[in-house]
Structure 1
Amino acid sequence: MTGWDRIVRNTYKTLMSRGMKGCYVYVTNQELKTAILGRLLSTQSSRLQWQTLIKREFNESQQEMKQHSAMLARR
């Protein structure tokens, strides 16, 4: 692992583990998204909580993307 990889991984680990009200990570790369969700959903106790949160966030992000696309189309 290079120094740059270590810095990036440590930064995200810190951000994702210390949020008082949560941490939002927007991922555009489908492979990375699958890997992150796999890690989050790996524990049985938090699976339902994460699935509910992910569904809500997905719906909200879909709405934001539609609004953004409409705004770009008006330009």
Structure 2
Amino acid sequence: MKILLLGGTADARVFTKRAYEKGLFNTNDHSLIYSVAGLVRQPDVPCEVISGGFTQFGGLKAYIRSEGIGAVLDMT
């Protein structure tokens, strides 16, 4: 399952790093995509990062549908 994490906070970065350390997203079964609103900020996380919002994909709803996102974690 693909999981979209709406991040941008220290808690979100810590969660992401710890989840990878525990092997929660290191499998073919689960993947994590970390989203941060700012274009300039590139968080140091061990997964795919989307920066600058979802307008470039036609909006959040369109992105969730096109990528087959199964869950959204709001950690903003």
Q: Structure 2 length normalisation: TM-score?
A: 0.30
Report which of the two has the higher share of helix: 1
Quick one: higher RCO (CA 8 Å, sep 6+), 1 or 2?
2
Greater strand share, structure number:
2
